[in-house]
Amino acid sequence: MENNKEKRMQEKIDDSYELMLAIEKFLIDKLNATIDGHGTTTDYKDNEADCDVRVDGKRYNITISEKEEDND
């Protein structure tokens, strides 16, 4: 059971990184951005990915995190 939970959590982290890579590609292609670095996430609790970006000489940190689903 625990192994399945860990697998699902790893898949969520992988999804966050895939989304971040797509965002980075967009920024590079459309805004001529430079990616200065990537953060690392090993904690299953936050499901986050981040990167440091430069656009027009300004520096940004972009962080994405998965929101919990509302079960209304």
Q: Let me know if residue 57 belongs to a domain.
A: yes
Strand 48-55 with 58-65, pairing: antiparallel
Q: Let me know if residue 71 belongs to a domain.
A: no
Q: Let me know if residue 38 belongs to a domain.
A: yes
Q: Let me know if residue 56 belongs to a domain.
A: yes
Domain around 46: 2-65
pLDDT, tens digit (0-9, with 9 covering 90-100), for 29-65: 999 999 999 776 555 566 778 899 999 999 999 998 8
Task: From 44, 42, 41, select the one nearest 2 (Cα to Cα).
Answer: 44
pLDDT, tens digit (0-9, with 9 covering 90-100), for 5-22: 677 666 666 787 888 889
Can you name the residues that pair with 62 across neighbouring β-strands?
51
Q: Let me know if residue 24 belongs to a domain.
A: yes
Q: Let me know if residue 70 belongs to a domain.
A: no
